[in-house]
A and B are shown apart, each in its own frame.
Chain A
Amino acid sequence: MGGFGIGSRNSAVVPSANVPIAAPPEVLKLPPREWVKANLFSSPFNSVLTLLTTVVLLAIFRGFLAFVFDPVRQWDSTATNLQLFMTRAYPDDQYIRIWFCVAVILILTGVSMAVWRAGSTMPVAAIGHKLLGTGALLVLLALLAPFSASATIQWLVAALAVAATGEVLRRSPGKGEDERTVSTLTVLVIALAGLVASLWVVPYGHHTYIANRVPRVLAEPGTVALTTKLPWTVMLLIVVTAYFAGRLMRDRLPANPIRATLMVLWLLAPPVLVYLVLRDPDFDIGHVVGTDLPIFLAYATGGAALLSWLTRPSTGEAGRIIAVLILLVGFCTFLTPMRMVVRIDMLMLAVFALAAPTFAGGPRARKRYAVGWLGVLGVASWLITSINTPSTVEVPGGFFIGGLSITLMVAVFTILFSFPLGIGLALARTSSMPIFRHLSTGFIEIVRGVPLITILIFFSIMVPLFLPTGMHLDEVTAVIIGYVLFSSAYLAENVRGGLQSVTRGQHEAADAVGMTTAQKTVFIVLPQALRVSIPPLVGHCIGVFKETSLLAIIGVFDLLYIARIVIPGQTEFMGSARENLLFVSVIYWIFAYQLSKASQRLERRTGLGER
Chain B
Amino acid sequence: MTDATPAEPTAGQIRDLSRGRDMIVCEDVSKWYGDFQALDKVSATIKEQEVVVVLGPSGSGKSTWIRCINRLEIHQEGRIVVDDVELTNDLRNIEKVRSEVGMVFQQFNLFPHLNILDNVSLAPIWVRKKPRAEAESQAMALLERVGIPEQAQKYPGQLSGGQQQRVAIARALAMEPRIMLFDEPTSALDPEMIKEVLDVIKTLALSGMTMMVVTHEMGFAKEVADRLIFMEGGQIVEENTTELFFSNPTEDRTKLFLSQIL
**Residues of A in contact with B (beta carbons under 8 Å apart):** 1-9, 11-12, 313, 317, 358, 360-362, 364-365, 503, 505-506, 508-516, 519, 523-524, 527-528, 531, 606, 608-611
Would you give the shortest CB distance from B155 to chain A, in whole angstroms? 3
A609 touches B113 (CB 8 A): yes
Complex contact A508–B199 (CB within 8 A): no
Do B129 and A509 have beta carbons less than 8 Å apart?
no
B155 and A11 contacting across the interface, CB-CB below 8 Å: no
Q: Which of A12, A313, A503, A519 has the most CB of B within 10 A?
A: A12
Judging by beta carbons under 8 Å apart, are B127 and A4 in contact? no
B196 contacts A513, CB within 8 Å? no
* Nearest-neighbor residue (CB-CB) of B168 within chain A: A509
Pick from B98, B109, B172, B206: contact of A506, CB below 8 A: B109
- Report 25 cross-chain contacts, Cβ distance below 8 Å, ordered by A residue: A4-B145, A5-B145, A6-B203, A7-B147, A7-B199, A8-B196, A12-B160, A12-B196, A313-B129, A361-B125, A361-B129, A509-B109, A510-B111, A512-B101, A512-B103, A513-B98, A513-B99, A513-B102, A513-B123, A513-B174, A523-B126, A528-B111, A528-B112, A528-B113, A610-B157
Distance in angstroms between the alpha carbons of A503 and B108 in the assembled complex: 12
Query: What residues of B have a CB within 8 angstroms of the CB of A358 in the complex?
Result: 126
A3, B95: Cα distance in complex, Å: 30
Docked pose: A610 CA to B112 CA in angstroms? 7
Interface string of B111-126 (1 = CB under 8 A from A): 1110100000011011
Chain B residue, CB-CB nearest to A509 = B109
* Chain B, Cβ-Cβ closest to A365: B129
Given contacts A6-B147, A512-B172, A519-B126, contact A362 B131 (CB under 8 A): yes
CA of A514 to CA of B127 in the docked complex: distance in angstroms? Answer: 7
> How distant is B98 from chain A, measured CB to nearest CB, in Å?
4
Q: Which of B202-259 contact A (CB under 8 A)?
A: 203-204, 206-209
Given contacts A514-B99, A515-B126, contact A509 B110 (CB under 8 A): yes
- Asked whether A609 lies within 8 Å of B155 as measured between CB atoms, the reply is yes
Q: Chain A residues with Cβ under 8 A from B109's Cβ?
A: 503, 505-506, 508-509
Contact across chains for A6 and B146 when beta carbons are under 8 A apart = yes
Report whether A513 and B171 are in contact in the complex, using a CB–CB cutoff of 8 Å: yes
In contact, B122 and A523 (Cβ under 8 angstroms)? yes
A12-B160, A505-B107 as given contacts; A513 in contact with B127, CB under 8 Å:
yes
B85 contacts the other chain (Cβ, under 8 Å)?
A: no
A1, A5, A513, A610: residue with the most chain B Cβ atoms closer than 10 Å: A513
- Tell me the residues in window 39-67 of chain B with beta carbons closer than 8 Å to chain A beta carbons: none
> Is B163 touching A12 in the complex (CB atoms < 8 A)?
yes
Indicate if B185 sits at the interface (CB-CB under 8 A).
Answer: no
Interface: B158 (CB within 8 A): yes
Cβ B155 vs Cβ A610 within 8 A: yes
Q: Which are the 7 A-B pairs with shortest beta-carbon distances? A: A609-B155, A514-B99, A509-B109, A513-B123, A9-B147, A611-B157, A512-B103
| Interchain CB contact under 8 A, B196 and A11 | yes
**Whole-angstrom distance between the Cβ of B53 and the nearest chain A Cβ:** 20
Q: Is B148 an interface residue (CB 8 A)?
A: yes
A8 touches B112 (CB 8 A): no
CB pair A8–B200 under 8 Å, yes or no, is yes
Bound Cα distance A509, B120 (Å): 12
Residues of chain A contacted by B98 (CB below 8 angstroms): 511-514
Count of chain B residues near A, Cβ 8 A: 53
Give Cα A130–Cα B204 distance, bound, in whole angstroms: 62
Inter-subunit contact B206/A3 (CB<8 Å): yes
Across the two chains, which residue of chain B brings its CB closest to A311? Answer: B129
User: Which residue of chain A has the shortest Cβ distance to B171 in the bound complex?
Assistant: A513
Chain A nearest CB from B91 CB (Å) reads 9
Q: Decide: A512 near B102, CB < 8 A? Known: A506-B109, A519-B127, A608-B155.
A: yes
B203 engages A11 (CB within 8 Å): no
- A609/B115 in contact, CB under 8 A: yes
> Hey, which chain B residues are within 8 Å of A524, CB to CB?
111
Distance between B121 CB and nearest chain A CB, rounded to angstroms? 11
Q: Are A6 and B145 in contact (CB under 8 A)?
A: yes
Residue B175 is within 8 A (CB to CB) of chain A in the complex: yes
Nearest CB of chain B from residue A362's CB, rounded to whole Å? 6
- Excluding A8-B196, A11-B196, A509-B168, 15 further A-B contacts by CB distance (< 8 Å) are A3-B203, A6-B200, A11-B193, A12-B162, A360-B129, A509-B105, A511-B70, A511-B72, A513-B102, A513-B123, A513-B174, A514-B99, A519-B126, A523-B126, A528-B113
Q: Is there a chain A Cβ closer than 8 Å to B15's Cβ?
A: no
- Beta-carbon contacts under 8 Å, B163-210 to A: 163, 168, 171-172, 174-175, 192-193, 195-196, 199-200, 203-204, 206-209
* Interface: B156 (CB within 8 A): yes
Contact status A8-B122, CB under 8 Å: no
Minimum CB–CB distance from A434 to chain B (whole Å) comes to 16
Q: Mark B138-165, 1 if CB is under 8 A from A, else 0.
A: 0000000111100000111110101100
Q: Are B155 and A513 in contact (CB under 8 A)?
A: no
CA distance A9 to B125 in the complex (A): 27
The answer for the CA separation of A509 and B181 in the assembled complex, in Å, is 12
Closest chain-A Cβ to B78's Cβ sits at a distance in Å of 21
Asked whether A513 lies within 8 Å of B172 as measured between CB atoms, the reply is yes
Q: Chain A residues with Cβ under 8 A from B125's Cβ?
A: 361
Instruction: Give complex CA distance A204, B93 in Å.
Output: 75
Would you give the shortest CB distance from A182 to chain B, in whole angstroms? 33
User: By the criterion CB–CB under 8 Å, are B206 and A515 in contact?
Assistant: no
The interface centre, meaning the residue of A4, A313, A509, A515 with most chain B CB atoms within 10 A of its CB, is: A509
Chain A's nearest CB lies how many Å from the CB of B170?
Answer: 11
Q: Are B131 and A508 in contact (CB under 8 A)?
A: no
Q: Which residues of A contact B196 (CB under 8 A)?
A: 8, 11-12
Quick one: CB contact mask for B72-88 with A, threshold 8 Å, 1 for yes? Answer: 10000000000000000
Minimal Cβ-Cβ distance residue in B for A6: B147
Evaluate contact between B145 and A609: CB separation under 8 angstroms. Answer: no
Shortest distance from the beta carbon of B162 to any chain A beta carbon, whole Å: 6
Closest B-chain residue to A10, C-beta based? B147
Q: Shortest beta-carbon distance, A502 to chain B, in Å?
A: 10
Give the distance in Å from the alpha carbon of A505 to the alpha carbon of B105 in the complex.
8
Q: Which residues of A contact B162 (CB under 8 A)?
A: 11-12
Chain A residues closer than 8 Å to B131, beta-carbon distance: 362, 364
Closest to B95 in A: A514
Contacts of A528 in B (CB 8 A): 111-113
- Asked if B105 and A1 make an inter-chain contact with CB atoms under 8 angstroms apart, the answer reads no
